[in-house]
Amino acid sequence: MQIKESPDVYDVIIVGSGAGGGMAAKQLADAGFNIAIVEAGPFFDPADPKTMTQLKWPYESPRRGAGTDRPFGEFDMAYGGWQIEGEPYTHTEGTKFNWFRSHMLGGRTNHWGRISLRFGPKDFKGKTRDGYGEDWPIGYDDVKPYYDKVDKLIGVFGTNEGLPNDPDGFFLPPPKPRLHELFYIKGAKKSGVPVIPGRLSMLTKRINKDRGVCFYCGQCSRACAVYADFSSGSCLIFPAHKNGGKIRIYVNSVVREVTTNEEGKATGVSYISKDDRKEYKLKGRVVVLAASACSSARILLNSNSKQHPNGLGNSSDIIGKYLHDSTGASSACFVPDLMNRKTNYNEDGVGGMHVYSPWWEDNSKLDFPRGYHIEVWGGMGMPNYGFGFNHNAFNKFFGLKTGGYGPQLRDEVKKYYGSVIGFGGRGEGIARKDNYCEIDTTTVDQFGIPVLKFNYKWSDLEVRQAKHMQDTFEEIIHNMGGEPIWGGKPGKDRDYGLETPGNIIHEVGTTRMGNDPKTSVTNKFNQLHDVDNVFIVDAGPFVSQADKNCTWTILALSWRASDYIIDQLKQQNI
Amino acid sequence: MDRRESIKALILGTGAIGLGLQGCKNVNDDPLLNQEIAVAETYFGRTPEELERIEELNEEQLFNEHELETIAVLSEVILPPKEPFGGPIEADVPNFIEFIGKDMPKLQYTLLGGLMWLDHEANTAFGTDFKSTPLEQQKQLLDPIAYYDAEIPMKVQSLGIQFFSLMRNLTLTGYYTSELGIKDLGYQGNQPNVWDGVPQDVLDQHGVAYDPEWIAKCVDQSKRGVIAEWDENGNLLT
Ligand SMILES: Cc1cc2nc3c(=O)[nH]c(=O)nc-3n(C[C@H](O)[C@H](O)[C@H](O)COP(=O)(O)OP(=O)(O)OC[C@H]3O[C@@H](n4cnc5c(N)ncnc54)[C@H](O)[C@@H]3O)c2cc1C
Ligand code: SF4
């Protein structure tokens, strides 16, 4: 079979259309360059009625929202999941990493939680702070102008609190707290845990004429048809196109490798079309990888050549190393004071928390480095599959029987509706060389591309952080007069509920940046040390991840790298 | 039509999904915004592969007619109908359980086995199958399996308890995810709204209050249609 080569030469080929790829496409297209976006999944527009799940009722589906074909429920807007048929990944025995992929235009930004946090000054200088990990080659001041621009371009609500490591920004006004959030505020403050308005990228106020304003359906995970929340397609790629940008999108096109010439420079990519299962080649002056941290590492490692026998950009042998996810531990409780709620008002709110707790402690007094923040959930949500399961389980807290049948079931369901509050601690794990992904030479996917093998273990530091999370949750639950559910507080035997690596879905660090080409993969502009016309704009170049969800920083750094690419292309340096 | 006939008529309808497009929904009845989205009334956002799987499942039949009728009778004992919100049969619970049993094969043994076990118990005690015994006798059969010890994991409880618990869960979930059940529950969401805080009477009922300082920072909903502008320090001007 012959590989088909397209005669066009693009200025820039972008692989992947999620947060990183979308931002690069927007900036580079706005600058007038001729762009190709190569995306493994299908076209997707949140406003297309055929694929839309927003405002659907559970009874419109025969399975009433159950998660059989989509892991976060069938109305969730991710085409993919923890496992994708025909695209396996493997593990070193005794280790585990759960890898969540979503293949569609916009990637995981169609259903992400929209929690949009800047890193603070300390977060770029981890090693200086406590000796663990490595410092970034850049600092907050380098990224701040880009965070500011991202805030204004995309929109994020929140408040300027003047906190030292949770910087202020250009915020839209936040929505008022819901009832359970008022309980949380009260309970947390009693223990000295600060609570401030959430910071999420939904438009509580208009930011331009093209995007709508939030109408509080609480369903951002289904992707917003009026473009009032951030998805890469609706907020970056479509506007860039509308702006007259020269953008060609190749969908259902799985990039296999970056192609190179005799000098070892990138010449473009080769990809497999899912439609006809044939391999094609595209030529470009610059290749920008944004396939998500692990996928981009995989593409580079699979791009072997005479000049790059170890994989493209991998002379350091660092690609895949320092993979890290956020730590996570969770808890939930039943709060008797939230029983017997009036249901005569709509409290869906935005599709996420209206309040949260940024990290508040001084690590010098603790037995682990780095912090975590607390996310809160609860309220009178829309019933979906699973609603009413063990409907009167909380009877046990009153010494009453659980189970039964008959007319009183209706009263019991209503009595307990909206009386649960849940917490997610999301923290920083230390990036380590011995946590990595690599190519599994024994296994290929359905396109014949060698797959990733993961090797990841938490250390005691992360376990101790999870213990701190659980102790905090326990106190707050007590303060609210709540009763822990989910089998109570997990102890040491269960690593204090520390989630399996990967579960928090913040994969970062596989192609970390640095000044030294021996210990890093890219320079501080996300450019491969080894090959100057290849850039990585997903979270691969992260040196560490902070206790801040990573996407706002992906967006800021992708914009920053794009400015550098524009400059270098104009100067004809690449 | 007697009760049994009417149950049959209600549960043997098809589960087919139409693809009729489409209307428009004004999502903000608000001159500030006036935004509209196109909606496909009878389509719920499936990919072609997902639709295909649903069609395949619809072509299979898990329960025979007797079993479906037993499920219908049992679901109405679990959650008796109530005016004006109807009950499990009107909420299409039996068809929902039929579908879920196929969609989640791990539930099949408990459901199929549980139904046979229940008939066996009914036959032993009263010489007839479960669905044909009068309500009082049905209750006698159910009472020993209707309650469970919440401290013991369900999977180590007796089959009867597991079966009944699963039936109760599916009945409640099926009912409360239906149009009727959602009305009974009173859920007001899943429609365009302007969230402006918890009503005062609700705050009072639960003994909490808003902090005026916090509220001062929150969105002024009368200005949400005005394009945001900031000064250079990030203070919102509009
Ligand atoms: C349920 C959930 C909640 C989340 N909540 C938050 C949150 O609240 N805050 C936050 O900051 N982050 C959150 N995240 C994480 C966030 O979604 C990611 O950080 C972000 O989307 C990463 O952007 P990306 O561009 O690197 O990758 P992605 O968004 O994953 O996009 C990568 C794209 O590349 C494509 N691709 C992959 N391989 C290839 C290939 N070989 N060829 C061509 N295309 C390819 C994929 O199909 C995909 O479209 C959440 C994630 C999930 C799943
Ligand atoms: S909560 Fe707001 S932003 Fe999110 S999907 Fe609904 S309308 Fe859109």
Give me the interface pTM, i.e. the ipTM. 0.94
Q: Quote the pLDDT of residue B4.
A: 45
The confidence score (pLDDT) of residue A60 equals 94
Supply A100's token pair.
């969540």
pLDDT band for A472, please (50, 70, 90 cuts). Answer: very high
Q: What is the pLDDT of residue B39?
A: 73
Provide the pLDDT for residue B43.
73
Residue A125: phi, psi to the nearest 5?
Answer: -130, 55
pLDDT at residue B6 is higher than 50 = no
- The pLDDT score that the predictor gives to residue A5 is 83
DSSP 8-state class, residue A142 = H
Chain position carrying tokens 């928390």: A353
> What pLDDT, on the 0 to 100 scale, is given for residue B29?
56
Regarding predicted confidence, which is higher, B175 or B13? B175
Q: Which residue, by CA, sits nearest to atom 8 of ligand 2?
A: A224
- How does residue A4 score in pLDDT terms, banded at 50, 70 and 90? confident
Judge: B40–A212 Cβ closer than 8 Å, yes or no.
Answer: no
Average of per-residue pLDDT values in chain B: 88
- Please state the rounded mean pLDDT for residues B101-127: 97
Which residue in chain A has the smallest CA separation from B161? A403
| Pairing verdict, β A327-334 and A420-427 | antiparallel
CB-ligand 2 contact for A215 (6 Å cutoff): yes
Give residue A266 CA to ligand 1 midpoint distance, Å: 24
> pLDDT tens digits for A107-161?
999 999 999 999 999 999 999 999 999 999 999 999 999 999 999 999 999 999 9
Q: What is the pLDDT of residues A251-290, one digit of tens each?
A: 999 999 999 999 999 999 999 999 999 999 999 999 999 9
Position A1 scores a pLDDT of 60
How many separate helices (H) and strands (E) can be counted in chain B?
Answer: 10, 3
Look-up of token digits 């509009």:
B238
**A319 touches B: beta carbon within 8 Å:** no
Structure tokens at A121: 């000054």
Q: Which residues of A touch B77 (CB under 8 A)?
A: 405-406
* pLDDT digit string, tens, across residues A478-518: 999 999 999 889 999 999 999 999 999 999 999 999 999 99
**CB within 8 Å of chain B, chain A residues 158-217:** 159-160, 168-179, 182-183, 185-186, 197, 204-209, 212-213, 215-217
Banded model confidence at residue B16, pLDDT cuts 50, 70, 90: very low
Q: What is the mean pLDDT of residues A96-101?
A: 98
pLDDT at position B20, please? Answer: 37
Q: How far apart (Å, rounded) are the C-alpha atoms in residues A68 and A71?
A: 7
Q: Is B140 on the interface with A (CB under 8 A)?
A: no
Radius of gyration of chain A from its Cα atoms, rounded to whole angstroms = 24
Q: Return the SS3 of A385.
A: coil
* CB-based burial label for A18 (10 Å; 0-12, 13-18, 19+): buried
Q: Is the CB–ligand 1 distance for residue A202 below 6 Å?
A: no
Report pLDDT for B30: 60
Q: Which amino acid is at A153?
A: L
How many residues can be counted in chain B?
A: 238
Residue of A563 and B6 predicted with greater confidence: A563
**Of the candidate ranges A234-248, A356-370, A532-546, the one whose mean pLDDT is the lowest:** A234-248
Smallest-distance ligand from the CA of A235? 2
State the Cα–Cα distance between residues A52 and B10, nearest whole angstrom: 30
pLDDT at position B23 is: 55
If we measure between CA atoms, which residue out of A98, A102, A83 comes closest to residue A17?
A: A102
- Chain position carrying tokens 């230390």: A430
Does ligand 1 lie within 6 Å of residue A549's CB atom? yes
Interval A107-121: pLDDT, tens: 999 999 999 999 999
**In the predicted model, is pLDDT for residue B10 greater than 60?**
no
Residue range A27-39: average pLDDT?
A: 97
Residues B131/B69, Cβ–Cβ less than 8 Å: yes
DSSP line for B108-121: HHHHHHHHHHHHHH
Tokens of A381: 């949500």
Tokens of A396: 């046990």
Q: List the structure tokens of A176.
A: 């008022």
Q: Which percentage of chain B shows pLDDT scores above 70? A: 84
Calculate the average pLDDT of chain A: 97
pLDDT digits (tens, 9 = 90+) for A343-357: 999 999 999 999 999
Ligand 1 center from residue A538 Cα (angstroms) = 8
Write the burial class of residue A100 (CB in 10 Å: 0-12 exposed, 13-18 middle, 19+ buried).
buried
Among the ranges given (A224-233, A241-250, A315-324, A425-434), the one the predictor scored with the smallest mean pLDDT: A241-250
Closest partner residue to B206 (CB to CB) among A53, A179, A222 is A179
Q: What is the pLDDT of residues A379-420, one digit of tens each?
A: 999 999 999 999 999 999 999 999 999 999 999 999 999 999
Question: Where residue B33 falls among pLDDT bands split at 50, 70, 90?
Answer: low
pLDDT at res. A532: 97
Q: Tell me which residue has tokens 């059989």.
A: A68
Summarize the confidence of residues A44-63 as an average pLDDT. 94
CB contact under 8 A, A177 and B210: yes
Mean pLDDT across A192-218:
96
User: Is any Cβ of chain B less than 8 angstroms from the Cβ of A487?
Assistant: no
